[in-house]
Chains A and B, each alone.
Chain A
Amino acid sequence: MNFLDTLWLIPMFPLLGAALMMLLGRHQFLDPQMKNSSVGHHHHHDRGHDQDLRPRQGPRWLIGPLCSGFVLLSFLWSLGAVFAGRSEQVLFTWVAGLPFPAFDGRMVTLTADWGYLLDPLSAVMILMVTGIGFLIHVYSIAYMAHDGGLYRYFGCLNLFVFFMLVLVMANNYLLLFVGWEGVGLASYLLIGFYFKRKPASDAAIKAFLMNRLGDAGYLMALFFLLSIFGTVRFTEMQAAPHPLLPWATLLLLAAAIGKSAQIPLFTWLPDAMEGPTPVSALMHAATMVTAGVYLIVRAEPFFRLTPEVGSLTAAIGAASAVIAASIALVQHDIKKVLAYSTVSQLGLMFMALGVGAYWAALFHVVTHSFFKAQLFLGAGSVIHALDGEQDLRLMGGLRHQMPQTFRTMFIGTLALAGWPGLAGYFSKDSILTSAWVASPVLFGAGLFTALLTAFYMGRLLFLTFFGPYRGDQNIHESPKRMTVPLWVLSIGSIGAGWFGTPFAGWLGATPEPHSWAIMVASAVVAVAGLGIAYHFYLRRPGTADRWEEGVAPVARLLRARWYFDDLYELIFVRGLARQGGDWLSAWDRRVVDGGVNGAGWLARKAGDISKWSDTWIVDGAVNLTAISVKLSSFPVRYLQTGLAQGYAFLIVLSLAAMAGWYLLRSA
């Protein structure tokens, strides 16, 4: 079998799973309403109870393995295709010649195929999406076992994998946009999975709306690109300087900022942690949020031609990296720490993109996806064990009860912190090296972020697994189906760094030669961060609180998350929404209601006129006819007596008269 000819099957498998689940799931894989199903994650205590509640049980156990199987198939297929080489496959012409006025007045024709492109960039992405996606599917089987709506969960997860594959495999910007919107939809559905909880549905809406801002940028960028190049197909676009090109790249950057949760659109990502933890791992850490990075790498030729947009990218990335990392320092929710860490790491990737180190960014995408997925799943395992508890202050000492989770989390933490030799070290080092070449300020920001990262990850690890236990739950290690994916991801977290160089070669760029000084500095910073965390939270447990009092204004700033949410609340929610509400209500009352009432008044007046004309003109004409007939027939009509014999008499008389006249004349 030729894998390259059947490229279209790769996204097809998860789509099949999604269709199965969403169309038939409710009935075929009956999932009866379970007690408290939407309130929390875990219901060990009422599991026995649940079984009594189930009226009839469909093959519920089949859902997870089935959907995981589809993703596994997809992964194996991708593996086959990737090793078979490069390919571009057009399935059918999707948009056939839509005439379109360009910005400079020319008419361009929008033609877009439904086609898949397999090049090194998309190869890396599809392997990552399907591989990590599969592990997270497997993990979810155990993690979600006690939740209701399992078919919905796995259906959405498969749908997400499908759209993500469309996104990274698309051979043109229009099809990429389909995947782009699709992952946004899947993200919305999964963040709001526990839709009966108000914060979850709010978070889903917030994520969707903030992504929308970026999507608007994408759409405009699409029109710009179409105007400039007359095509949206990657392979047909020959990058060349053009006066409109900076706008296109700027708007692409806006799109990437929305999807990858960078300043100023990053506030949706921490809120998205309301979704189930495996979803956070898959979409809001490992794959979907990297779509922004993917987009910029894909649009690399345009970014190269517009260095000013590149500088902006780097600045935004550096700011996001430092600010998000600083917020992560003071978060108490284990998932929020990881969420801000994700924003921060994505910021590092953007920084790399901004300075032109596309391969370094992609490298970090891959290594980050391994250890961030692993950390999230580990956090999920902890939350699972603590029956839904997410507060770091109520954890501690878990390393004895959960040795598997602890070991994998330990590896993930070291990888993210940049411990020499693990994945994060190499990719972060690549970024720092590129940043050093571009600007010492960016390098400083990157190094500072690395220090903060090591510190907050150390804090997370020490507060969770070391010291005395501060909660009151009955702790147990998670089942094998959850720990095995963790171990598989550990392999990536340890080893992915050593494959650093291939990306550089595949993307046709030459990486900066590794500088020993930077490597040593990076290692020192990582170890120092972990060491400070050890001192703060383990050796002298009170130190952190004393420091917080010492720098109270800074601590307040960090706890308030740099006031981003408050600012948006003030400007958009309170300012625009409320003021806008007043305007809208005035508009409703005056214009819309006015229009409706005016139409009513008009109809009534028209009715009056019509009634008048009916009475006087139509009826009048009919009556006039009748009256005129009555008048003009005045004497004659009295011959009509109604007596049949009278008429007969007249007939006879007339006949007699005619006969008489005839006889007289002939005689």
Chain B
Amino acid sequence: MHYVAVSLAMLLIGTAGLLTRRNIVIILMSIELILNAVNINLVAFSKHHGNAAGQVFAIFVIAVAVAEAAVGLGILLALFRNRETVQVDEVDLLKW
């Protein structure tokens, strides 16, 4: 029960960060929070049901998260070199 509560808290904190912070670095960190909230849930329910599949799944998620962080930071670097900003609301050319 506590596991789920911690997981829910992390999810909500991550979502709030994702929606409210303007700095892309912070947003990426928020996304990591969300992913890890899911991981905790997976591991918790894996333990609860006595099924190892959930833990294996968590490891996959960690791997994907690493890749995602690397790509995200790469894009961020490229963006900064071109626009000299990391504020997400200043990057809004792709519209209508």
Interface of A toward B, CB cutoff 8 Å: 637-638, 640-645, 648-649, 652
The 8 Å CB contact of B96, one of A640, A643, A644, A649, is A640
* Chain B window 69-96, contacts with chain A (Cβ cutoff 8 Å), 1 for yes, 0 for no: 0000000000000000000110111111
A644: chain B residues within 8 A (beta carbon): 88, 91
Q: Looking at the assembled complex, report how far the CB atom of B71 sits from the nearest CB atom of chain A, in whole angstroms.
A: 15
Q: Can you report 20 residue pairs joining A to B where beta carbons are below 8 Å apart? A: A637-B96, A638-B96, A640-B96, A641-B95, A642-B91, A642-B92, A642-B94, A642-B95, A643-B88, A643-B89, A643-B95, A644-B88, A645-B18, A645-B19, A645-B27, A645-B88, A645-B89, A648-B18, A652-B15, A652-B18
The 8 Å CB contact of B92, one of A643, A648, A649, A652, is A643
B18: chain A residues within 8 A (beta carbon): 645, 648, 652
* Chain B window 46-71, contacts with chain A (Cβ cutoff 8 Å), 1 for yes, 0 for no: 00000000000000000000000000
| Closest B residue by C-beta to A653 | B19
Assembly CA distance A520 to B54 (angstroms): 141
| Closest B residue by C-beta to A636 | B96
At the interface, is chain A mostly helix, strand, loop or mixed? helix
B19: chain A residues within 8 A (beta carbon): 645, 648-649, 652
**A641 and B92 form a contact (CB under 8 A):** yes
Known A641-B92, A642-B92, A652-B15; 19 more pairs at CB < 8 Å: A637-B96, A638-B96, A640-B94, A640-B95, A640-B96, A642-B91, A642-B94, A642-B95, A643-B89, A643-B95, A644-B91, A645-B18, A645-B19, A645-B22, A645-B27, A645-B88, A648-B18, A649-B19, A652-B18
Residue with the highest number of chain A CB atoms closer than 10 Å, among B22, B27, B93, B96: B96
Q: Looking at the assembled complex, report how far the CB atom of B16 sits from the nearest CB atom of chain A, in whole angstroms.
A: 10
Chain B 3-27 interface residues, beta-carbon cutoff 8 Å to A: 15, 18-19, 22, 27
A638: chain B residues within 8 A (beta carbon): 96
A640: chain B residues within 8 A (beta carbon): 94-96
- Chain B residues touching A, range: 10 to 19
Assembly CA distance A648 to B88 (angstroms): 12
Assembly CA distance A648 to B95 (angstroms): 15
Assembly CA distance A648 to B27 (angstroms): 11
| Closest B residue by C-beta to A652 | B15
Q: Looking at the assembled complex, report how far the CB atom of B56 sits from the nearest CB atom of chain A, in whole angstroms.
A: 25
B22: chain A residues within 8 A (beta carbon): 645
| Closest A residue by C-beta to B89 | A643
B92: chain A residues within 8 A (beta carbon): 641-643
B95: chain A residues within 8 A (beta carbon): 640-643
Assembly CA distance A643 to B92 (angstroms): 5
B91: chain A residues within 8 A (beta carbon): 642, 644
A637: chain B residues within 8 A (beta carbon): 96
Residue with the highest number of chain B CB atoms closer than 10 Å, among A638, A641, A648, A649: A648
A643: chain B residues within 8 A (beta carbon): 88-89, 92, 95
Assembly CA distance A649 to B18 (angstroms): 9
Closest 7 CB pairs of A and B: A642-B95, A642-B92, A637-B96, A640-B95, A643-B92, A642-B94, A640-B96
Q: Looking at the assembled complex, report how far the CB atom of A643 sits from the nearest CB atom of chain B, in whole angstroms.
A: 5
B96: chain A residues within 8 A (beta carbon): 637-638, 640
Assembly CA distance A645 to B96 (angstroms): 16
Assembly CA distance A119 to B39 (angstroms): 112
A652: chain B residues within 8 A (beta carbon): 15, 18-19
Assembly CA distance A642 to B88 (angstroms): 10
Residue with the highest number of chain A CB atoms closer than 10 Å, among B15, B27, B93: B15
Q: Looking at the assembled complex, report how far the CB atom of B54 sits from the nearest CB atom of chain A, in whole angstroms.
A: 21
* Chain B window 18-47, contacts with chain A (Cβ cutoff 8 Å), 1 for yes, 0 for no: 110010000100000000000000000000
B89: chain A residues within 8 A (beta carbon): 643, 645
| Closest A residue by C-beta to B94 | A642
Assembly CA distance A645 to B26 (angstroms): 13
A648: chain B residues within 8 A (beta carbon): 18-19
Assembly CA distance A637 to B94 (angstroms): 12
Q: Looking at the assembled complex, report how far the CB atom of A657 sits from the nearest CB atom of chain B, in whole angstroms.
A: 14
Assembly CA distance A649 to B15 (angstroms): 9
B94: chain A residues within 8 A (beta carbon): 640, 642
Q: Looking at the assembled complex, report how far the CB atom of A254 sits from the nearest CB atom of chain B, in whole angstroms.
A: 90
Assembly CA distance A644 to B86 (angstroms): 13
Assembly CA distance A652 to B14 (angstroms): 12
A645: chain B residues within 8 A (beta carbon): 18-19, 22, 27, 88-89
| Closest B residue by C-beta to A656 | B15
A649: chain B residues within 8 A (beta carbon): 19
Assembly CA distance A652 to B15 (angstroms): 8
| Closest B residue by C-beta to A655 | B15
Assembly CA distance A637 to B88 (angstroms): 21
Assembly CA distance A641 to B89 (angstroms): 10
Assembly CA distance A641 to B96 (angstroms): 7
Assembly CA distance A644 to B75 (angstroms): 14
**A642 and B93 form a contact (CB under 8 A):** yes
| Closest B residue by C-beta to A643 | B92
Q: Looking at the assembled complex, report how far the CB atom of B22 sits from the nearest CB atom of chain A, in whole angstroms.
A: 8
Assembly CA distance A645 to B94 (angstroms): 13
Assembly CA distance A649 to B17 (angstroms): 11
Q: Looking at the assembled complex, report how far the CB atom of A36 sits from the nearest CB atom of chain B, in whole angstroms.
A: 82
Q: Looking at the assembled complex, report how far the CB atom of A25 sits from the nearest CB atom of chain B, in whole angstroms.
A: 74
| Closest A residue by C-beta to B31 | A648
Assembly CA distance A649 to B89 (angstroms): 13
Q: Looking at the assembled complex, report how far the CB atom of B34 sits from the nearest CB atom of chain A, in whole angstroms.
A: 10
Assembly CA distance A648 to B20 (angstroms): 10
Q: Looking at the assembled complex, report how far the CB atom of A639 sits from the nearest CB atom of chain B, in whole angstroms.
A: 9
Assembly CA distance A638 to B15 (angstroms): 24
Assembly CA distance A645 to B22 (angstroms): 9
A641: chain B residues within 8 A (beta carbon): 92, 95
Q: Looking at the assembled complex, report how far the CB atom of A376 sits from the nearest CB atom of chain B, in whole angstroms.
A: 96
Assembly CA distance A640 to B27 (angstroms): 20
Q: Looking at the assembled complex, report how far the CB atom of B35 sits from the nearest CB atom of chain A, in whole angstroms.
A: 15
Q: Looking at the assembled complex, report how far the CB atom of A334 sits from the nearest CB atom of chain B, in whole angstroms.
A: 99
Assembly CA distance A641 to B88 (angstroms): 12
Assembly CA distance A637 to B89 (angstroms): 19
Assembly CA distance A649 to B93 (angstroms): 18
B88: chain A residues within 8 A (beta carbon): 643-645
| Closest A residue by C-beta to B18 | A648
Assembly CA distance A645 to B18 (angstroms): 7
Q: Looking at the assembled complex, report how far the CB atom of B32 sits from the nearest CB atom of chain A, in whole angstroms.
A: 15
Assembly CA distance A638 to B96 (angstroms): 6
Assembly CA distance A643 to B93 (angstroms): 9
Assembly CA distance A643 to B89 (angstroms): 6
Residue with the highest number of chain B CB atoms closer than 10 Å, among A637, A643, A649, A652: A643
A642: chain B residues within 8 A (beta carbon): 91-95
Assembly CA distance A640 to B91 (angstroms): 13
| Closest B residue by C-beta to A638 | B96
Assembly CA distance A643 to B90 (angstroms): 8
Q: Looking at the assembled complex, report how far the CB atom of A634 sits from the nearest CB atom of chain B, in whole angstroms.
A: 10
Residue with the highest number of chain B CB atoms closer than 10 Å, among A640, A645, A649: A645
